[in-house]
Amino acid sequence: MIEFRSKAYYKVSAALAFGSFLVFCNLYLFQPMLPVLAKDFAVSATQINWLLAAGTLTLAIMLLPWAFASELIGRRKILLISLFLLPVIGLTSLLTNDLVLLIISRALMGMALAGFTAVAVAYMAEEFSAKAFSYGIGAYISANSLGGISGRIFGGMITDHFNWQTAVACMALLSLVGAILVALVLPKQSNKTVKSVPTSQYHHVIIQHVKNKKIFFAMLIGGLNFALFMNLYTVAGFRLVSEPYSMPVSIASMIFLCYLSGTLSSRLVGIWCQRFSPITGMFAGATLGLLGMLVASYDSLVVILIGLNLLSFGAFFTHSLAYGWVSQQAEHSKSTATALYLVHYYVSGSLGGFYLMYCWQHGRWTQVMIGASILYAVIFCLCWRLASYTQKQTTTTLQVQ
């Protein structure tokens, strides 16, 4: 096993973190462009949301197939195939100015991104010791947030000063260089034996994971948490380019720098887990997210930024804990378990966009807060159920012993 702070730990962590950075740059490249593209294509905010939702939905759909493939041919091969598909699909999307075809290209991008996303954490869970994993998952998710920040800001600024095609072309070139670097650095696995498992067995594996309440509740928590986090930012972007702020998209996209507080909180997960319960941390993170949304309701740019920082800190903290919990609690087929978590994560993120954008169109930020508060209440209930079930299971195990 790879131990914390060993040479191999830093090498693998760096390769996976950089790959994750590229994945999330590509996934969220279009998010800050949505207000501009809505005007260019003369469609509503809900309709233009398909450019973001198409990628996250197909990513969710392809997570399990990629995870299954990694059980058959190995994690590393899937990681690299996924990364090398990014520049190919990115450059292909430049061949059209039709919105429907552009949405299709984003759907294909989501399929490619799913490969890396489905397998990276399982790779770490199998290669790293428990301590190395608890810190490594924090670093990996920090790279997620940095990639999301960079992709969004890059997309907003390049689109504002040039056009969306230039942003896509530059991102494709960066992705190609990055894929080559990861291929050179990432070592082969030493603690995973590739097995030819009949595909029919995976149906039973999925059912077993879903029936495991310790895993399933965490999946639901992670999904709702992401639905709120990602789409509150999307709504905030529309809010800032509208009156009374009327910001250009390049300036409005700078709100994604608030993700940096999430980068910090995800790195604190390892420390938290050494002292406290992960479930308590999920509840605390959701509470901070709710508080951030309420703070951001005040019509002051400074206060809005404070609220978004609180939202990011809490959301990434909850996500890191829930993500790590699922991978560690799974007794077998860890890549399938983490893939199932991410299915909930991205499907919820996609559907949450239409939900909150509908609230925005019909009641602006006030309606958004009401709609989001309902989802936060559900998260709190799920945290309570997860804690109760875990305690009950632990008590039963001790009685049997």
Contacts of 352 (CB under 8 A, 6+ apart): 224, 226, 227, 228, 230, 231, 375
Asked whether residue 362 is domain-assigned, the answer is: yes
Condensed to tens digits (0 to 9), the pLDDT of residues 294-329 reads: 999 888 899 999 999 999 999 989 998 888 888 777
In a domain, 192, yes or no: no
Structural domain harbouring 246: 7-184+201-400
For the stretch 55-98, pLDDT in tens is: 989 998 898 888 888 878 888 899 999 999 999 999 998 888 88
- Taking the alpha carbons at both ends of the chain, their separation in whole angstroms is 30
For residue 47, pLDDT beyond 90: no
Residue 321 forms part of a structural domain: yes
Domain total for the chain? 1
| Within a domain: 343 | yes
pLDDT at 85: 96
CATH of the domain at 16: 1.20.1250.20
In this structure, is residue 347 part of a structural domain? yes
Count other C-beta atoms under 10 Å from residue 245's C-beta: 13
Measure the CA angle with vertex 126, ends 120 and 131; round to 5°: 95
User: How far is Cα 56 from Cα 346, in angstroms, rounded to an integer?
Assistant: 5
Question: Is 189 inside a domain boundary?
Answer: no
Give a yes or no: residue 196 inside a domain. Answer: no
Task: Give the number of other Cβ atoms within 10 Å of residue 196's Cβ.
Answer: 7
pLDDT score of 307: 94
Angstrom distance (rounded) from CA 280 to CA 278: 5
Show Cβ contacts of residue 43 under 8 Å, excluding neighbours closer than 6 positions. 99
**Which secondary-structure segment (H or E) carries 199?**
none
Q: Does residue 311 fall inside a structural domain?
A: yes
DSSP string, 277-302: -HHHHHHHHHHHHHHHHHHTTSS-HH
d(CA 170, CA 150) in angstroms, rounded, equals 13
Selection from 119, 136, 109, 137 nearest residue 51 by Cα: 109
Beta pairing partners, 128: 2
Share of the chain above pLDDT 90, in %: 33
**Averaged pLDDT of the chain:** 85
State pTM to two decimals. Answer: 0.76
Per-residue pLDDT averaged across 260-288, rounded? 84
More confident residue, 362 or 288: 288
